[in-house]
A and B are shown apart, each in its own frame.
Chain A
């Protein structure tokens, strides 16, 4: 990911809340996908050939809209010739991968976006390295930041990570069913709260957004645009040691 010339002045910690099936994961994925596609640098064919590309800019959109095409920003891209002299707008072939410098860490699988699947153990292992810098971290359910773990050794370490989110230039998205499920320090670090609800008839997710320095607002979007990028039935993995410890108490 390209380094920002000036650091952010606040920590981008988003708490995405809502009942089960309300579109929390979808909203987290949507935020990441937006950034991933905004910064795309190329597409890769199934045989490995890379074509330079970028997402459509405002001029491209106006150009297409004048011709009656209202481009889906995840489907239309501008590709360049090898020498960068000529370019054209194309609809991205569905079997081509999108190459983007955006780094994504996630505790669940993403599809169509390059990402590193991480567990709590990975976070602890790499906490002192600069791996977790200038990247997105998607934490689904409160496996990583559970309020119940706040006074454990790992809970304290993660609170330390939370305190350095701005310094590390991270975007941290925590998806949970309710606020108190999340460690209180992460609740205090949060600069954006998004409450989700899903309408099954229209397939629209409505997000009630409270963002630092902004008036509260409501934004609705069409959920199926992101359904190909994650599996809503995927259960985040619980660390083996936690399971073993719990097993000791019942065996």
Chain B
């Protein structure tokens, strides 16, 4: 596991007064002996806290939920449909039209894929359930804001 590598030697930075004062107070003790359990000594597949912070998609829990509950279908009309109100008696005709449309306009789409693509936004929008869920998420945001205010304690 060796690799040739050339790096310009760096000049030693001069110590400031505060660094010198710190050095007088500072000490280093070896790491403690702690049994870390079955997973062993290394981080292994785990990332450090800092790496996890940098990798974080910066989504709040509610944003993640929103993304999961209302997925991007890849087609504008299917995304819009999620927020519509589909009456139960229109569900089957709608589905059949959508499946035919998807299959006719996408040569490489399988029948199963077309059914899933049509069924997902339709079932979200059935009786306007998607709108209701979205409003509930909005309410959760306000509840979350209130909780944050409580925690702030100012």
Contacts and interface: CB of A to CB of B under 8 A. Distances in A.
A88 B151 contact: no
A67 B1 contact: yes
B27 A227 contact: no
Contact of B31 (A31, A84, A111, A209): A111
B104 interface: no
B12 to A, nearest CB: 9
A245 interface: no
B97 interface: no
Contacts, number: 174
Interface stretch (B15-23, B73-81, B85-93, B114-122): B15-23
Nearest to B55: A219
For the side of the interface on B, what is the size category?
A: 35 or more
Given A103-B22, A133-B18, A89 B1 contact: yes
A131 B31 contact: no
Interface stretch (A154-162, A187-195, A235-243): A187-195
Interface string B45-68: 111111111001111110100000
Nearest to B15: A101
A186 to B, nearest CB: 11
Interface residues of A, number: 84
Chain B interface mostly helix, strand, loop or mixed? loop
User: Which of B2, B32, B33 counts the most chain A CB atoms within 10 A?
Assistant: B32
Contact of A84 (B7, B25, B30, B58): B7
Chain A interface mostly helix, strand, loop or mixed? mixed
Contact of B53 (A3, A193, A209, A222): A209
A1 B19 contact: yes
A2 B8 CA distance: 18
B5 A222 contact: no
A219 B42 contact: no
A131 B21 contact: yes
A34 interface: yes
B28 interface: yes
User: Which of B4, B37, B42 counts the most chain A CB atoms within 10 A?
Assistant: B42
B32 A231 contact: yes
Contacts of B61: 218
User: Which of B22, B28, B42 counts the most chain A CB atoms within 10 A?
Assistant: B22
B28 A114 contact: yes
Nearest to B45: A70
11 contacts: A34-B49, A63-B3, A103-B26, A111-B30, A114-B28, A210-B148, A215-B58, A217-B59, A219-B49, A220-B52, A230-B32
Given A35-B50, A112-B29, 20 more contacts: A30-B50, A74-B48, A88-B5, A90-B1, A103-B19, A111-B29, A131-B22, A179-B151, A180-B153, A187-B154, A188-B154, A214-B58, A215-B59, A216-B60, A217-B57, A217-B59, A219-B49, A222-B46, A224-B36, A227-B36
